[in-house]
Structure 1
């Protein structure tokens, strides 16, 4: 039988590495879309808004997962 540290490569079971990667990817996307704001105002604004929602959702869900255990 394998324990959880064997399966997840040593990361904790709450998926901290995945949440950090998701927040960093959304942050990079938001910064890139701000750079294109002058060229594509509506599309870039929508993408920045979506990135903010993704960051918020990942952070809030991470807190919920941590309090469940």
Structure 2
């Protein structure tokens, strides 16, 4: 019975991880998870994905600095 419940938990965890969308809001809320989602993509898509995540994070830093002034 424990094996079945562990398997169900694994499936649910995996499906939840796959549902993480790379929106600006999600990237800013959880950048590590966004990077891991990019790392899970094919190499041809991974670099573009990482560039997009980095761009969102960099733009947010610029906005924070502008607000501080």
CA distance in structure 1 between the partners assigned to 2:32 and 2:64 by the alignment: 17
Counterpart in the other structure of 2:35: 30
Q: Any unmatched runs of 5+ in structure 2? A: 1-25
Task: Give unmatched runs, 5+ long, in structure 1.
Answer: 1-20
Contact 1:33 1:48 in 2 (8 A): yes
Following TM superposition, where does structure 1 have runs of at least 4 consecutive aligned residues deviating by more than 4 angstroms?
A: none
The structure whose residues are more often helix, as a share, is 2
Relative contact order (alpha carbons < 8 A, sep ≥ 6): 1 or 2 greater?
1
TM-score (norm 1): 0.51
2:66 pairs with one of 43, 64, 67: 64
TM-score by length of 2: 0.51
What's the C-alpha RMSD, in Å, of the aligned pairs?
2.3
